Amino acid sequence: MERLAELSRDDRLRALEDLVLNVMAQTGKRIRRWDMHRSFRELGVSGGRAMRLRRALADRTGQTVTNSVLLDHPTPQALARHFEASLLRDGGASVGPAGSENGGPAPRDEDETVAVIGMACRYPGGVQGPDDLWRLADQGTDAITPLPTDRGWDLTALTDTERGSHNTTYSRGGGFLTEPGLFDAEFFGMTDAEAYATDPQQRLLLETSWEVIEHARIDPSSLRATPTGVFVGVAHQSYSAPLDQEPEELQGHSLVGSLGSSLSGRIAYALGLEGPALTIDTACSSALVCVHLAAQSLRSGESSLAIAGGASINSTPGAFAAISRQRGLAPDGRAKSFSAHADGFALSEGVGLILLERLSDARRNGHPVLAVIRGSAVNQDGTSNGMTAPNAPAQERLIRRALADARLRPDQVDVVEAHSPGTEFGDPVEVRALQATYARDRAPERPLLLGTFKSNIGHSLAAAGAAGVMKMVMALRHGRIPRTLHVEEPTTHVDWSSGTIRLLAEPEPWPETGEPRRAAVSSFGITGTNGHVIVESAPQERADETVALVGAGSPAGDVPAAVAIADKSSPSVPVPGSADASSDPAVPWLLSARTASELCDQAARLREHVAARPGLSDLDIGCSLATTRARFEHRAVVVAHDRSALLRGLDALASGGTSPGLHRSRADDPDADASCVLTLDAAGARLAAEEAPRLHQAFPAFGAQLRALCERAGEELGESVDADELLRAPESGAAPADELRAFLSGLALLHLLESWDVRPGSVTAHPDALALAAHVTGALPFADALRIATVRAHRAEGGPDEDRQEAAEHLTKLVAELSPETPWIPLSLTAGQPLTPHDLRDPALWLRSHASESTPAPGTTLELRGSGTDMTARLPLLPDEVGTGAPNVEDRAMRRVDGLLTALAQYEAHIGGVDWGAVLAERGARTVDLPTYPFQRRLFWAPFRAAQEQS
């Protein structure tokens, strides 16, 4: 543990995670790195196994491990961080997780702009995401359908078109999700009993919360232990049974499954989020109230990111019956907003989530900025003409407060996405408030444009405000505003004659005003709490930044698929499409899923997505797959130079076939233990020196490592070591690099592998590469390894016997002065036993010649070995044999670099954990939109009333 304190924080955490994994394996519970975020309970560590783990950890760390340590730090990842904090404890204050200040707030900035960086949703009309939502709105689709027949409702008893019977409805339809009971329980670690007992609003929020993060091009697993907030709105819950009537087969899960607080708390638990988690019930305004609170949390520094939105699912027909008793529903289930034919609102449902981040953070983190929240406000009607009656003065106050928060004049807002549920009384009240605020002193030639998404899908209650925000964000980006349905004849209860408000009876292009596009969204709760949010188009980038838009990457009619910002000094961005030059390295596409079927499905969806967007860069797709998606048990990597070969790999993966560039984990046993042995010899180091120019071209980090090592070597040896000489393409007939430069080049390659998170479990070295191996395993410091390599090189050069004898004596003296440490990982000579520090002080070990070894030198290789299986794969990092199809030096160099990528792909498939983002970091790649996770859903539908009737 003492040596850990000398490492960088990233290396220290990695070493401690390895320690926890190893100790767990020794106590009979082997897990993989991608499961380190799962709780010990989920992993089956409890009782006697937990006790053995605590004892083993105490023995290995030398620290006191309390009985409550697994409760206080409930995941292997959290446990590793706990041990890291104990190493650096100062005056009793522990160091918190990376990027935190031990719970302290971030800098507060009340004027900070908040950006919309991701969206996810489920709404009627088959809407599964924001692109579907836009298509439905843009095409003017009516998504209202008859009452559902697949929810266990007794429609015969429920329907009474004469409006007379108790607990019946006269409404013939509404807005309904397709199969709201479908859910991927296994993905979120829920048993069947727990899934059945859990309100579908919670389940749908789990899936959409994962998707909203992916839509922002963020790996959801990367947000664990971050102060990401969750603000979720809800209006009513009707799924679960009263707790004293819970069916026995639900095993007590109904308690948590029915709590309103679980709507936000379950998201935070499942994703490991540590910011505020609030469930808000202000009825119809819940989603906008959540957006308002989330923006405040971000500006105050309380949250680093915030998920905001709402959910409303009609598990039972109770809401239809209750509102029918008040004669509030439209008989045909359609909202005729602002229409002379308005006859009640359309009951609907849905789930909508928005991911928010401070604009400065979004820019710095490279996240897409879809729009910004320019201002928002929340207020209450107070005493109005009935608790559920709308109040125009309260709505006016709300709008003025939101405009003041946005620091805007009313005429600077172009469009209002209205609350308007389609009632004869409520719609005119809303218009009068708009006339008194937005339309006041407004020029008729620039009227306020007014519409509502409720005319398409109905009133989705707690999710309605989120739908309105998403519709307006998409309209801002597309530059056109969809029409409102059923409004051919405007209501006569409003004086429209001033022309300062115009209903969107037809779609219109967004008015060009010379200012950013702006829209406001309103939601008014049935109990008087109102919300108003003003959204604005994403701001123009600063003059010292360049913005790259991949317009060709979108299907026809879609907005640009990627927005990337790069400093002008960064490498140039490749031309979109499959334009990878033949001299460029191959491109890896990484896919990962929890199950083999999901992996195949993901390949099929990606293939369809890419085929529809031929302008996307292969490199950008590879970068996005590597950096914006979580890693799971089942993994596959397709490595190829051109789009057609990459697509063939996807086709093979989707169909369960094979392809030359496809490398995948074992479908039958992805968790099968595999180990990795790094084999080193001088031939491999010399090959690294020979290919240094090409490696530097393909991976600039290699050149940076080599320059730093040459500088250190020059300081230690007292003579200049020219890195530029190594990084220049050699002239024809040039002599091979000497042993010193081979040592430095080989070490630069190994440092490059380390920066990519390639972590062998052991190292085997031929005698001529022992100094290199001893250094990379931590047994020898750089200076000692360098001097030994230099002396051995002089001894190996030949010459008079007396010169060789002198070199041997020098080497013997040098070895005697060594103070080796125990290697971090086992180190051995080829086919030998692990070496100890005592062995490394034996001159005979260092005087052995490579010729004395019977095993041929394979070069630098990664050897993958399956535990308990016949899997063995030797992967040369720079293949010496590149085949007859490489007729010239450049082709051979390219194939060797491709061999390195192939070795990484095999390592990923069988071991996992390669940092592909680092591999691609300096190739000018940026992130683009990808399909979200392919959840494999099953039906879990047992609402209390339906279950009671069936029983």
Catalytic residue among 236, 253, 284, 634: 284
Tokens describing residue 218: 């963020």
- As given in the structure block, the two tokens for residue 518 are 């702006």
* Nearby residues of 903 by Cβ (< 8 Å), 6 or more positions away: 861, 862, 875, 876, 877
- Neighbouring C-beta atoms of residue 375, cutoff 10 Å: 25
d(CA 386, CA 425): 13
Q: Give me the count of residues in the chain.
A: 951
CB contact at 8 A, 344 and 163? no
> Parallel, antiparallel, or unpaired: how do β-strands 305-312 and 861-866 relate?
unpaired
For residues 687, 693, 694 and 698, what is the CA-based torsion angle, rounded to 10 degrees? 120
Instruction: Give dist(CA 208, CA 221) in Å, integer.
Output: 15
Measured from the Cβ of residue 242, the count of other Cβ atoms closer than 10 Å reads 9
Alpha-carbon gap, residue 919 to 699, rounded angstroms: 7
> What tokens appear for 700 in the block?
């600039």
User: Residue 755 is inside which H or E element, if any?
Assistant: helix 739-755
Per-position DSSP letters for 823-837, written without gaps between them:
PSS-EEETTSPBP-T
Q: Which helix (H) or strand (E) holds 939?
A: strand 938-939
The DSSP line for 329-379 is: B-TTS---TTBTT---BPB--EEEEEEEEEHHHHHHHT----EEEEEEEEE
Burial of 456 (0-12, 13-18, 19+ CB in 10 A): buried
Residue closest to 403 by CA, chosen among 392, 391, 416, 390: 416
Give which of 301, 313, 311 is closest to 279, Cα–Cα: 311
Cβ neighbours for 837, distance < 8 A, ≥ 6 positions apart: 779, 820, 821, 822
Q: Identify the DSSP state of 563.
A: E
Extended beta strands in 359-478, E state: 371-380, 415-417, 448-451
Q: Contact, 235 vs 190, CB < 8 A?
A: no
DSSP 8-state secondary structure symbol assigned to residue 127: B
Q: Which two tokens stand for residue 294?
A: 């989330």
**Tokens at residue 111, please?**
């004027």
284 is annotated as an active-site residue: yes
Q: Is 167 helix (H, G, I), strand (E, B) or coil?
A: coil
Catalytic residue of the set 215, 367, 459, 775:
459
- The β-bridge partners of 563 are 549
Structure-block tokens of residue 252: 């007590």
Backbone angles phi, psi at 288, to 5 degrees: -70, -35
Question: Cα separation of 716 and 177, whole Å?
Answer: 70
Strand-strand pairing, 182-183 and 938-939: antiparallel
Helix pair 739-755, 682-690: axis angle to 10 deg: 80
Alpha carbon distance 568, 157 (integer Å): 68
Phi and psi dihedrals of 640, rounded to 5? -160, 165
Can you tell me the distance from the alpha carbon of 699 to that of 807, in angstroms, rounded to the nearest whole number? 37
Query: Which one is catalytic: 253, 419, 532, 641?
Result: 419
Neighbours of 576 (CB within 10 A): 23
At residue 133, the 3 state secondary structure works out as helix
Distance CA 741, CA 730 (A): 14
419 is an active site residue:
yes
Cβ(54)–Cβ(20) under 8 Å?
A: no
Q: Which residues are catalytic?
A: 284, 419, 459
